[in-house]
Amino acid sequence: MTSGDAFDSTLTRVIPSRRRRRIGEYLWVFLLGFSIVLILAMLGVILGDVIIHGAGHVSWTFITESPRQGLAEGGIYPAIIGTTFLVLLMTIAAVPLGVATAVYLHEYTPAETPKQAWSRFRTAEGADRRKLFGTVVLSLLAKVTRSAVANLAGVPSIVFGLFGLGFFIQFVGGTMDRLTQPAGEIVWGQGNLLWAALTLALLTLPTVIVATEEALRTVPADQRAASIALGATRWETIRRIVLPGALPGILPGAILAISRGAGEVAPILFTGAAYYLPFLPESLSSQFMHLGYHVLILSTQSPDVEATKPVLYGTVFVLLILTFLLNLTGVLIRARTRTKLRSGS
Amino acid sequence: MTKSVRQEPEPAPKIEVTGFNFFYGELHVLHDIVMDIPEKQVTAFIGPSGCGKSTFLRSINRMNDIIPGARARGAITLDGQDLYAKSIDVVALRRKVGMVFQKSNPFPKSVYENVAYGLRIGGVNDRNVLDEVVERSLQRAALWNEVKDRLNTSAMALSGGQQQRLCIARALAVDPEVLLMDEPASALDPIATQKIEELVYELKSNYTIVIVTHNMQQAARVSDRTAFFMLGKLVEYDDTNTIFMNPKQKLTEDYITGRFG
Amino acid sequence: MTVPGKANLARGVRGRFIRDRLMTSVFTGAGWFAILFITLIFAFTFREAMPIFTDPEVAREANLHEFFVKQLEGERMEQRFVWQPVGDIPKFSFVPLILGTLKATFVGLLVACPLGVAAALFSSEFAPPRLREWIKPMIELLAGIPSVVLGFFALMVLGTWLQEAFGFTYRLNAWNAGIALGIALLPVVFTISEDGMSSVPRYYREGSLALGASRFQTAWKVVLPAALPAVFASFVLAFGRAIGETMILLMAGGNAAITSWSLGDPLRTLSATIAAELGEVVFGDPHYSALFFIGTLLFVITFISNSAGQWFIGRMQRRMQGES
Ligand SMILES: Nc1ncnc2c1ncn2[C@@H]1O[C@H](COP(=O)(O)OP(=O)(O)O)[C@@H](O)[C@H]1O
Ligand SMILES: [Mg+2]
């Protein structure tokens, strides 16, 4: 390409290189798209493997009978019931408290940043000063709580298990036993349904709080103002305007948090899950079987892996169905409100 | 447009404002406001934007209470009762002094539930009472004929002008005595604006109305009295005719003739 | 005091007023209760680890020197850092556990970061909207797989496949555990990166396209750099998640607390150690305190990495708000 004409030479230099670049770009975009394919393939392989080996083993007897023959035969009824109880208790403990905490943070603590409140406090005088000090403290508290909650959402679940053992079992349960069991019997000072549920509730609490506060933020301020201008108290505004408006955001957030809690095993390892119980939990102080824990036991403690494999796959299948149903509900609700919001605006 | 010269004696003031000051934190936005707002008449607030009209309006039903750092000094009385006294129940106050906002803000509920909202929070759940009040309020807001067949559809589906009249109906449903309107027509097209103006004219036989507007013709058309604000001060307050035909202050005249603002 | 027929503004609606006050107390109470528990989580995890500093009995066997520094003497000793908490002379070296954690985290991030960012870039810049509406729920579905299931899959299936394909000596090793971990981290990297990329204002792209840049150049040279804080955040948060992930590593890591740099060797992470041993430990034992100290360590590391991640996310939001 050594043409004497300068104009010609730039042309010939530019055109092929641009075409080459185009092809290179298509390759890159193809690679990016391929990464999606790869991820979806992973999902497909895992689900496919579980469905192929697990679905066939799930039968009426499998989900209604207790394990037999050292877990290698029979069903997983106690684990299904145990998981259900656990998730219900966890939900009862986590969702109302999480929603209430988010409402407190968003609707009751000062909207100002601590910095703004502090600068007002410094210039205020007289009676205002004491009130403003409260504002400064509360807005600081809200800020610290928010960041603690956001960070807690990422603290490993095994740490929650440690906390459950150290706090609920040793401290609370131990104290309860000391006060109520003169004979020194251990009733509450060991793992049980209640402690496991509370541990899981603490694990899901930050997720519920964060999702709820995010949903509260989407309720327009002018709707709050309209309600207040009509003579509604703060509580009436929250109950009739804010919470209904935020519900489409709270619901999927809470359901996704519950679904995550339903699949967690690390927090219940030491707080109440049992290896094998032929009976169902009778009270809050009973131990319980759990689908996820059962998967762990079957795949790591089984003396004969091949013999327990069908039960293992069946259990994984049931666990996945449970968490996916919860997950799917949350994802669908969220997708529906998203499209609704888009078409509404 | 002609306006009959009033022969009747000055009506009793519904709202009396004396030495009223307002602060957002350090920002002093209203300075020593003094004015009487007459009963069952329309009083318009005009002035360049940022001069404190909305702030003053919101002080009359204490909507500013919810803004952090907001402080009021001086007195506003409604029927002789100091609105900033300790004994005042702001909830009761806001039911007596209704408010319509610049941007229409219906709740994402049905037309019916929007209007019934104020009654429901007041504990009224009797369907007959609600039906009656909803119909009456919508009629007063000149909206009944347009929505009577779709009371149960979402208020969000109404047009902008209809939404604003719905907000007026919603405010009327709790039976207020004073109606505060903050540029209620500024986001509407001319036809919807005209409807609102006609409505204001109708309503004044029953309600004391205070309306903020940036539209001088609107003030001239709908109001009996006009207050001109600038930089947080009440510059001039008089009969609307006087303000527009024969202002006493140079500032007022400049503003009205469009020399600034 | 009030004239009849005139507005009565004295406090009237007692019931509503009281209910409002009551609900204020309820919400305040709930808020403080939750705050109390959050504080307790910090306090109690630390409290149970404290004896290694305060109790001389415990501190004799389990202390910082033992955890991080001490090596066993002897020429023919293959393993110089040893975690062997049960025995006549318990040995509490964290070094093999830390190494195991780092190896698994390394492989996990190696899988998740490039794949997650590439997928996010594709989804936000090249995927047609219809496809995008499918990708996101699919990734959420992936995020919804409990980690015990991923651990199970790596243990029962993936390990064998990898061994057959690459001829590893050990079926359970850092590659196996790390890849399963990577699957768990993928949704974290994808979601946060994608959020960041989608929050880049449209005029950024339009400006670039108007200058004659191709879509790929725009994605690569404009969107990705603008979304860099979010991408960083996703890496940091994935790191935090990897450090703390337990079940996958417990099941698929091979459970061998050995000091080895090889990714083909089995491993034992800090988190898996707690899970494996806390069940059998004697309360108040040096071993018990050592496990809680590991928990404290995990807590502090993840807390710091999460704060960093949140900071990057906040930076991303400020950047996009400040400029859009
Ligand atoms: N919530 C607020 N916080 C601080 N300053 C405010 C607030 N609302 C209004 N202001 C300020 O008070 C002044 C008056 O505002 P406003 O009453 O809205 O004026 P107008 O309605 O006449 O346009 C303006 O300078 C405005 O910036
Ligand atoms: Mg205004």
CATH of the domain at C278: 1.10.3720.10
Residue of B nearest to C17 (CA): B91
- C-beta of residue A238 within 8 angstroms of C-beta of residue A312: no
For the ranges A80-94, B53-67, C64-78, which has the lowest average pLDDT?
A: C64-78
Taking CA atoms only, the protein residue closest to ligand 1 atom 24 is: B50
Residue of B nearest to C13 (CA): B92
| C-alpha span between A178 and A172 (Å, rounded) | 10
Confidence band for A6, pLDDT divided at 50, 70 and 90:
very low
Q: Which uninterrupted H or E stretch holds C77?
A: none
Count: domains in chain C: 2
Domain assignment present for residue C72? The answer is no
Q: What is the mean pLDDT of chain B?
A: 91
| C-alpha span between A207 and A219 (Å, rounded) | 19
- C-beta of residue C185 within 8 angstroms of C-beta of residue C242: yes
Distance B54 CA to ligand 2 centre (A): 4
Which residue in A212, A232, A242 sits closest to A105, CA to CA?
A: A212
The residues near A123 (Cβ < 8 Å, ≥ 6 apart) are B25, B26
Residues C13 and C130 grouped into a single domain? no
Residues C171 and C309 grouped into a single domain? yes
Q: Which residues of C touch B88 (CB under 8 A)?
A: 9-11
Residues C291 and C147 grouped into a single domain? yes
Distance B126 CA to ligand 1 centre (A): 41
Domain assignment present for residue C250? The answer is yes
Tokens representing A198 are: 């509370």
SS3 content of chain A, % helix, strand, coil (to 5): 75, 0, 20
Residue found by looking up tokens 């709790």 in the block: B174
Domain assignment present for residue C79? The answer is no
Confidence band for B10, pLDDT divided at 50, 70 and 90:
low
Domain assignment present for residue C74? The answer is no
Pick the atom of ligand 1 nearest to B58's CA: 17
Domain assignment present for residue C275? The answer is yes
Collapsed DSSP state (helix, strand, coil) of residue A108: helix
Q: Which of C3, C7, C16 is closest, CB to CB, to B91?
A: C16
Tokens representing B259 are: 């020399």
| C-alpha span between C239 and C233 (Å, rounded) | 10
Tokens representing C24 are: 């204020």
Q: What one-character DSSP code corresponds to residue B6?
A: P
Q: Which residues of A touch C41 (CB under 8 A)?
A: 152, 155, 159-160, 163, 167, 202
Q: Which amino acid is at A286?
A: S
Confidence band for C45, pLDDT divided at 50, 70 and 90:
confident
- Asked if A230 and B26 come within 8 Å (Cβ–Cβ), the reply is no
Residues C235 and C138 grouped into a single domain? yes
Residues C189 and C101 grouped into a single domain? yes
| C-alpha span between B87 and C17 (Å, rounded) | 13
Judge if the beta carbon of residue B49 lies within 6 A of ligand 1. yes
Taking any CB pair shorter than 8 Å as contact, residues of chain C touching chain B are 1-3, 6-13, 15-17
Collapsed DSSP state (helix, strand, coil) of residue C70: coil
- C-beta of residue C179 within 8 angstroms of C-beta of residue C250: no
| C-alpha span between A141 and C28 (Å, rounded) | 12
Chain segment B167-216, per-residue pLDDT in tens: 999 999 999 999 999 999 988 899 989 999 999 999 999 999 999 998 88
- Asked if C247 and A171 come within 8 Å (Cβ–Cβ), the reply is no
Residues C16 and C139 grouped into a single domain? no
Q: Which residue has the higher pLDDT, C75 or A64?
A: A64
Domain assignment present for residue C80? The answer is no
Q: Which residues of C touch A154 (CB under 8 A)?
A: 237, 240-241, 244, 302-303, 305-306, 309
In this model, does residue A70 exceed pLDDT 80?
A: no
Mean pLDDT score, A333-340 = 74
Q: What is the mean pLDDT of chain C?
A: 87
Residues C138 and C24 grouped into a single domain? no
Residues C45 and C174 grouped into a single domain? no
Q: What is the mean pLDDT of chain A?
A: 87
Confidence band for A69, pLDDT divided at 50, 70 and 90:
confident
| C-alpha span between C174 and C269 (Å, rounded) | 10
% pLDDT > 90, chain A: 54
What's the full length of chain A, in residues? 345
Taking CA atoms only, the protein residue closest to ligand 1 atom 3 is: B24
Residue found by looking up tokens 């503003």 in the block: B255
Pick the atom of ligand 1 nearest to B67's CA: 1
Confidence band for C182, pLDDT divided at 50, 70 and 90:
very high
Confidence band for C13, pLDDT divided at 50, 70 and 90:
low
Range of the domain at C302: 91-320
The residues near B144 (Cβ < 8 Å, ≥ 6 apart) are B135, B138
Mean pLDDT score, A321-328 = 90
| C-alpha span between A151 and C306 (Å, rounded) | 6
Residues C95 and C45 grouped into a single domain? no
- C-beta of residue C107 within 8 angstroms of C-beta of residue C185: no
Residue C274 vs residues A156, B251, C6, C247, C291: alpha-carbon distances, Å: 12, 79, 73, 11, 6
Q: Which residues of A touch B26 (CB under 8 A)?
A: 123
Its sign, for the CA torsion B218, B221, B226, B228, is: positive
Say if C45 is an interface residue toward chain A (CB within 8 Å): yes
For the ranges A241-245, A305-309, B11-15, C232-236, which has the lowest average pLDDT?
A: B11-15
In this model, does residue A330 exceed pLDDT 90?
A: no
In this model, does residue A9 exceed pLDDT 50?
A: no
Pick the atom of ligand 1 nearest to B212's CA: 21
For the ranges A41-55, B16-30, C205-219, which has the lowest average pLDDT?
A: C205-219
| C-alpha span between A282 and B258 (Å, rounded) | 82
Confidence band for B2, pLDDT divided at 50, 70 and 90:
very low
Judge if the beta carbon of residue B231 lies within 6 A of ligand 1. no
**Degrees to nearest 5, angle at CA A20 with A17 and A23:** 155
Residues C164 and C275 grouped into a single domain? yes
Pick the atom of ligand 1 nearest to B64's CA: 1
Per-residue pLDDT at B240:
94
Q: Which residues of A touch B71 (CB under 8 A)?
A: 128
Confidence band for C99, pLDDT divided at 50, 70 and 90:
very high
Ligand 1 probe mutation, B24, B71, B212, B255, most atoms within 8 A of CB: B24
Q: Which uninterrupted H or E stretch holds B228?
A: strand B225-230
In this model, does residue C32 exceed pLDDT 80?
A: yes
Taking CA atoms only, the protein residue closest to ligand 1 atom 10 is: B24
Q: What one-character DSSP code corresponds to residue B11?
A: P
Per-residue pLDDT at A101:
95
ipTM > 0.85, yes or no:
yes
Pick the atom of ligand 1 nearest to B24's CA: 4
Could you say which ligand is closest to the alpha carbon of residue B63?
1
Q: Which residues of B touch C9 (CB under 8 A)?
A: 78, 81, 83, 88-89, 92-93, 96
Which residue in B212, A44, B129, A129 sits closest to C142, CA to CA?
A: A44
Judge if the beta carbon of residue B27 lies within 6 A of ligand 1. yes
Domain assignment present for residue C55? The answer is no
Per-residue pLDDT at C78:
63
Residues C43 and C172 grouped into a single domain? no
In this model, does residue A307 exceed pLDDT 50?
A: yes
Residue found by looking up tokens 């559809």 in the block: B153
Say if B86 is an interface residue toward chain C (CB within 8 Å): no
> How many other CB atoms are found less than 10 A from the CB of residue C222?
19
Mutate to test the interface with C, among B66, B91, B179 (most CBs of C within 10 A): B91
Alpha helices in A65-113 (DSSP H): 77-103
% pLDDT > 70, chain C: 93
Confidence band for A1, pLDDT divided at 50, 70 and 90:
very low
Chain segment C101-133, per-residue pLDDT in tens: 999 999 999 999 999 999 999 999 999 988 988
Per-residue pLDDT at A4:
43
Per-residue pLDDT at C1:
39
The residues near A344 (Cβ < 8 Å, ≥ 6 apart) are B156
- Asked if B174 and A230 come within 8 Å (Cβ–Cβ), the reply is yes
For the ranges A99-103, A180-184, A211-215, B216-220, which has the lowest average pLDDT?
A: A180-184
Q: Which residues of A touch C151 (CB under 8 A)?
A: 296, 299
| C-alpha span between B109 and C96 (Å, rounded) | 61
In this model, does residue C75 exceed pLDDT 60?
A: no
The end-to-end CA distance of chain A, in Å, is 58
Confidence band for A340, pLDDT divided at 50, 70 and 90:
low
Confidence band for A288, pLDDT divided at 50, 70 and 90:
very high
- Asked if A296 and C151 come within 8 Å (Cβ–Cβ), the reply is yes
Distance B167 CA to ligand 1 centre (A): 23
Phi/psi for B24 (5° steps) reads -100, 100
Collapsed DSSP state (helix, strand, coil) of residue B37: strand
Mean pLDDT score, C60-77 = 71
Residues C227 and C297 grouped into a single domain? yes
Say if B25 is an interface residue toward chain A (CB within 8 Å): yes
Domain assignment present for residue C136? The answer is yes
Say if A241 is an interface residue toward chain B (CB within 8 Å): yes
For the ranges A303-312, B8-17, C273-282, which has the lowest average pLDDT?
A: B8-17
| C-alpha span between B254 and B233 (Å, rounded) | 16
Q: In what order do the strands lie in the sheet with B27-38?
A: B27-38, B13-24, B70-78, B81-82
Say if C318 is an interface residue toward chain A (CB within 8 Å): no
Q: From the CA of B153, how many Å to the nearest CA of chain A?
A: 14
Distance B27 CA to ligand 1 centre (A): 9
